[in-house]
Amino acid sequence: MRLGAHVSISESIALAPVRGRSVGCETIQIFSRSPRMLRKTKPIPPEQTKAFQDNMAKGGLVRAVIHANYLINLSSSTKNGLRYSRVAFVEELDRAQVLGIRDVIFHPGAHMGKGEARALKTIAESLDWAFDHAVAPDVAAVLENTAGQGTVVGHSFAQLAEIIKGSSHPERLAVCIDTCHTFAAGYDFRTPDGYEALLRNVGETVGLSRVRAFHLNDSKGELACHADRHEDIGKGKLGKDPFRFLVNDERFRDTPGILEFPGTDGGYRRELKLLRSFVTGPNPPTSPERPRGKRAGRGTA
């Protein structure tokens, strides 16, 4: 696993890799714009893109992913809501393409009282609309599984598979597994058997090859609580074992594993160190040490 964290883009996107590097990241997740406003933003200037990519390479970072705006609801039940969400999602894809980032991770949507079946269908249609309107041939839309809070859909991998099946562009869709959401949605993977059962379920629904990233968060809430409340690794109801399984799993050697909590530099440093302390074996699939900078020849995206 390529460990990393969600880092801030305040001041400039170009500085995000520097922030990530300073806390010990091998990968980073960023917002490409303010995450709580839907209005149109200015395009990213070419010199900022170049500085971003240079800083990725200089810091030895192997990949960056984007987390989409929280207000986007691709299954909105209002005409205006759906329109704004789709346009904003196109913008997310376009910005990723400009930055050389291949993954836009997003929350599938909320049905707002209109039912899950309709929402899953609308999300697939919205994604097709977005792919047709974006200029982002290299970017995948990455469905993040949810805790199932409120009317949010995407709380089972079967639901994510249904969205993928409903789209005309399944090859452009991938999946991000958030460990907190998975547990809060009712999947218990705190034991080796539970962990393997979860991966079997993922394999039989969306397919393991579609898993493009993990969000590594512990859960404040109990199993199947359907509450999206992150906690420090090992301090929540998930505990340390699920993270031990993940960082030692050969199947995810090159998959980004992103911390989103507690969001502070000191917290990220501590948590990345803890995750690396779980790594065992002679050829572990996760770097047991903080990566060194200036690795020549590594891609930026």
Question: Which is the catalytic residue, given 63, 102, 172, 230?
Answer: 230
- Measured from each CB, the residue nearest to Zn ion is 228
Residue 169 appears among annotated catalytic residues: no
Q: Which is nearer to Zn ion, 226 or 251 (CB)?
A: 226
What DSSP character marks residue 222? P
Residue 133 appears among annotated catalytic residues: no
Q: How far is the CB of 285 from Zn ion (least distance, A)?
A: 24
The strand pairing partners of 220, in sequence order, are: none
Question: Which is the catalytic residue, given 144, 162, 218, 271?
Answer: 144
Q: How far is the CB of 298 from Zn ion (least distance, A)?
A: 26
CB 298 within 8 A of CB 60: yes
3-class SS of residue 73: coil
Residue 87 token pair: 């346009």
CB 218 within 8 A of CB 231: yes
What is the rounded CA–CA span in Å between residue 94 and residue 92? Answer: 5
CA-based end-to-end distance of the chain: 16
Residue 70 appears among annotated catalytic residues: yes
- Return the residue of 91, 94, 103, 228 that touches Zn ion, per CB under 5 A: 228
Of residues 116 through 145, those in contact with Zn ion by CB under 5 A are: 144
The number of residues that bind Zn ion (CB under 5 A) is 2
CB 147 within 8 A of CB 184: yes
Q: Which is nearer to Zn ion, 92 or 228 (CB)?
A: 228
When asked if residue 218 is in the footprint of Zn ion (CB under 5 A), the reply is no
Phi/psi zone of residue 145: left (φ > 0), alpha (ψ -120 to 50 degrees), beta?
Answer: beta
Q: Which is nearer to Zn ion, 94 or 228 (CB)?
A: 228
Residue 111 appears among annotated catalytic residues: no
Catalytic residues: 36, 67, 70, 107, 144, 178, 181, 215, 228, 230, 260
